[in-house]
Structure 1
């Protein structure tokens, strides 16, 4: 049985962690298949937005501790493929956290641009409690929220409920369980309806603000905007506004990059 499902709904890709019997815990198979799913999403020109969620009652319980324990007994390390680099997911991604989200599962959610969660969701960074490393995830949490939030989550290994996660800025919205995926798809459809050249440029600009110095980020953003303003999408968006109609954006590609 596949550990990760990849489904397409028009321009939206839904990626589902599919080990519900193990709370979608990360093992070699899941890590390999999730990496491949992100590669597929990035390779499909007509896939504009991804939604990442989990099957069953959990989003992702982190590392499969049964396999980790066996690896500890035998001295053979788990062959877990590293997460697909978040800075290489240049298209928009939404996490729909439907339940428990721990350890590496938090990393999977943080790789997405927008994080929605159900009222039943809980977040935990259990690394210090288990004598394990998880610094990249804690660092990404600090970048996305605050230094104090990341320290609290990483040093206490406390469970953070959905309401607290919203207050701390870990998630963007909290929803009843039955409303989670419909809302995720609603947002995905809204984003997919915009100019994808503009969407990807905006995402790149905001990531630059996190990764570069202020002046360097501004210069990079100005260059992206200069190129964007020469595109067919800018022309179409301007004319559509003036003519009081919905814009008709095409798929991103070289044929749309110049007006």
Structure 2
């Protein structure tokens, strides 16, 4: 595995193996908060991986017992002697950066997998929901505990509510309770729950399998999926039909069909 981030002060690390970029949150002692620094650095890492032709899939992982505890509450709280307007401006900046980071995942041309080894809380749970796929250890838990502190996890529900049935989303938000990885599979928040000691191997296998597919097909297919999913069904069919025509007449699709008939591995074009 080759390291691609050399800044020892960065709150995450980056490494690439077999065309998979691993982006690992690395503030274990602070429970990997989505601080303003973390959000900016993570967005930059996603952007770099998105334009790197050697990267064909991305994994977001974390070190320590917590995947991410969400926003840094110290950044969100009013400081001694601070005007309320200054606090509100800082909160809006953090939330805007968080929204942009989540959109960077959705809009990335690469498939992105969350590898969840521990607790994913609030915006950390939202981070899991933003990824295209998610695999969690059977010891992982998921919660949106804003209600326990007199607030409400409104922004996390933007992503979570687009992954799971609204009653499951509201159960998370209204109770503030932690739900198991098995529950998260049942809710539709994650794809798989595996034994903790096999999490990295299972995520690696899935990521490398996706990385072996056509980068062109994944790039356009991912964008088309997210574009049509919130359309009325009639509009979605119209859009998807045209997207399907484009996909099935692309250079990689022609190569894929030829490889199928010739019973050989396909030779995909450049990413």
TM-score, L = length of structure 2:
0.86
Aligned to 2:26: 18
Pairs aligned (count): 252
Aligned to 1:168: 187
| Contact persistence 2:106–2:131 (CA under 8 A) | no
**Shift, 1:87, TM fit:** 3.3
Secondary structure at the aligned position of 2:98 is classed as coil
Q: Quick one: distance in 1 between partners of 2:135 and 2:80?
A: 35
| Stretch of structure 1 that moved more, 228-237 or 48-57 | 228-237
Q: Quick one: distance in 1 between partners of 2:252 and 2:107?
A: 23
**Shift, 1:90, TM fit:** 3.1
Aligned to 2:260: 241
Q: Quick one: distance in 2 between partners of 1:140 and 1:6?
A: 25
**Residue of 42, 48, 54 corresponding to 1:40:** 48
Aligned to 1:215: 234
Aligned to 2:177: 158
**Residue of 185, 208, 232 corresponding to 2:251:** 232
TM-score, L = length of structure 1:
0.90
Distance 1:152 1:133, change over 3 A: closer
Aligned to 1:256: none
Secondary structure at the aligned position of 1:245 is classed as coil
Q: Which runs of 5+ in 2 are unaligned?
A: 1-8
Q: Which runs of 5+ in 1 are unaligned?
A: 253-259
Distance 1:46 1:222, change over 3 A: farther
Distance 1:53 1:27, change over 3 A: same
Q: Quick one: distance in 2 between partners of 1:34 and 1:185?
A: 20
**Shift, 1:138, TM fit:** 0.9
**Residues 150-180 of structure 1, C-alpha deviations (whole Å, 9 max, x = no match):** 1111111111011111222211111111211
| Contact persistence 2:137–2:181 (CA under 8 A) | yes
Distance 1:72 1:162, change over 3 A: farther
| Contact persistence 2:68–2:121 (CA under 8 A) | yes
Q: Supply the RMSD in Å over aligned alpha carbons.
A: 1.9
Q: Quick one: distance in 2 between partners of 1:220 and 1:72?
A: 53
